[in-house]
Chains A and B, each alone.
Chain A
């Protein structure tokens, strides 16, 4: 009964092309900018054909920016390292705490379990600005300002709800009978969790970890307020390019490209898991 005629196919192709261009064009433009000098970028009219240069990247990597106003120290590589450290550690901690918690919420009905779950999830709804001021005051009192530990702790607000939300759905989708069967076979509760529940929920855990990593990596406001220069991730570090002597578009572009590369690669590699994870195992398998 479905007859796809040529017109529909062509229109569909055009629509996809337009949407694709809309989302990918900025990325493409930024990539171009990263190989141009400031003069080339600011030239009017802008042109796609130019002499590419690696000076921007070189400046970032070496940590020294040579400009008309003098030599500037750039801590970009340090920021990159901070991003990596903060994101991976936060996600690791969130997994350690969140996966067992998700299992508990999925499998056990205890008093207030729904309320607690909702509270933890609500952290995602609240705008960070709401808690930022009190948080920064508390951090100063406890002495956690400008520490990795403090930031990792705050990043749990981002990662934990995501992991709970996604992984809980995955655990719920595993038929309880499978775990019962394993216990009836004679295995302990712990072995059932590690040999049955975890492997079967692996796509969900991977998806949740990936997404949390991306969100932590992209976070700006917590690091801006609660940390200072040498602990800041790339999101904040990019501000440094807005210098007194002018905005270094070339370096910003290069910095942007370098900072999105890890997450872009991860997402491309694991896109299947992301889609699977986000659909929360809706289809019964």
Chain B
């Protein structure tokens, strides 16, 4: 029995069926990231757990006990909202102290704990300020402080880094895991940024079509996305998708792709004569300026640096756009403008998806 149990939750929001029998379990001390595209129901999910909304059917259980029908003030939950939702007419101190006041704690104990939490979040010097005097980063930390301070059983974080500038977002991505580990309860963290999901989640639950399509460790989801849409969402630059139909050639399975004939690993035998979508991660395509054994000729059209990596925009001989990446220090080789290159592709790491349903096809028979 898990600590926090979402059991076949269904709910309609604004005439749309947003969640369809979605189920998820979270253990105590675990951080589960709910990941999905915007409008997918992630915020609705958090509202259900917090008690602000009730599901149409299904159950929410905490420690075995059902929470259905209980209002938010009866659940032991803390929540940090995307737009902070701070009380504008109270200073930061009172915002953070609010859950403790609701629990009737003594004044000096409240002061002590608020100071401690503020120091941990590095906002102890702005406690007397009102929300409109705080920067976005300080507002977010105040909201976080308010959510954490009463040590609730469940912590809900609704895309807290969305409205915070890029620098601070990165800084918090590095600091949050330590904070969440020391928290102790169950954490549900919602985000649309797959990097945040991979960085912060012990497990990631991908919410698509109103259900959790895949729930797994982040590295596993990246390596083996269960659905073609998950493969596209998890990765920057987006994974390359090519419709192919493997055939049996002289030396085993082979496929016509990018204007060349390429051998596939022997295990792909079960995909012969079957329409598939072949998915290639950009980092598995190595671009060389000189011809290489097994390399596919292509034209390099543009080089766009992407922080620590560089994106190479290629066009294959059959007119397809292909994205590859290389390390930052290699980018100087390629110059500016079009040039002929050779792509060494690791087809052993390619993924195959069913074109109709979008589901991942097994790697071997």
Contact = CB atoms under 8 A, between A and B. Distances in A.
Interface of A: 175, 177-178, 180-189, 196, 199-200
A178 B73 contact: no
B87 interface: yes
Interface string B74-106: 010111010101111100000000110011000
Nearest to A183: B72
Given A175-B83, A189-B71, A184 B88 contact: no
Contacts of A185: 73, 98-99, 102, 146, 150
A186 B79 contact: no
B54 interface: no
B150 A186 contact: yes
The residue in B47, B50, B71, B72 that gathers the most chain A C-beta atoms within 10 A of its C-beta is B72
A190 to B, nearest CB: 11
A14 to B, nearest CB: 40
B85 to A, nearest CB: 4
Contact of A182 (B77, B78, B87, B88): B87
Contact of A184 (B50, B83, B89): B50
B89 A199 contact: yes
Main secondary structure of the interface of B (DSSP, over half): loop
B52 interface: yes
Interface in B309-356: none
Nearest to A174: B88
A183 B79 CA distance: 11
B51 interface: yes
A178 B85 contact: yes
A187 B102 contact: yes
B81 A177 contact: yes
A7 to B, nearest CB: 40
A175 B102 CA distance: 21
Nearest to B149: A185
Contacts of A199: 89
Nearest to A188: B73
A168 B98 CA distance: 26
Contact of A180 (B50, B78, B86, B103): B50
A184 B87 contact: no
A178 B83 CA distance: 10
Nearest to A175: B85
B89 A180 contact: no
Contacts of A188: 73
Contacts of A189: 71, 73
9 contacts: A175-B83, A180-B47, A180-B81, A183-B51, A184-B72, A185-B102, A186-B102, A187-B102, A199-B89
Interface in B166-190: none
Contact of B73 (A175, A184, A196): A184
Given A186-B99, A189-B71, A180 B146 contact: no
A184 B75 CA distance: 8
Nearest to A191: B102
Nearest to A184: B72
B296 to A, nearest CB: 52
B89 A200 contact: yes
A182 B81 CA distance: 12
A46 to B, nearest CB: 54
A257 B81 CA distance: 54
B87 A178 contact: yes
Given A183-B71, A188-B73, 8 more contacts: A177-B83, A180-B50, A182-B87, A183-B72, A183-B73, A185-B73, A186-B99, A199-B89
Contacts of B86: 178, 181
A19 B75 CA distance: 60
Contacts of B87: 178, 181-182, 196
A234 to B, nearest CB: 38
Contacts of A187: 73, 98, 102
A184 B51 contact: yes
A182 B146 CA distance: 10
Contacts of B103: 186
B73 A186 contact: yes
Contacts of A186: 73, 99, 102-103, 150
A182 B102 CA distance: 9
Q: Which 5 A-B pairs have the closest CB atoms?
A: A186-B102, A177-B85, A183-B72, A185-B99, A181-B85
Contacts of B102: 185-187
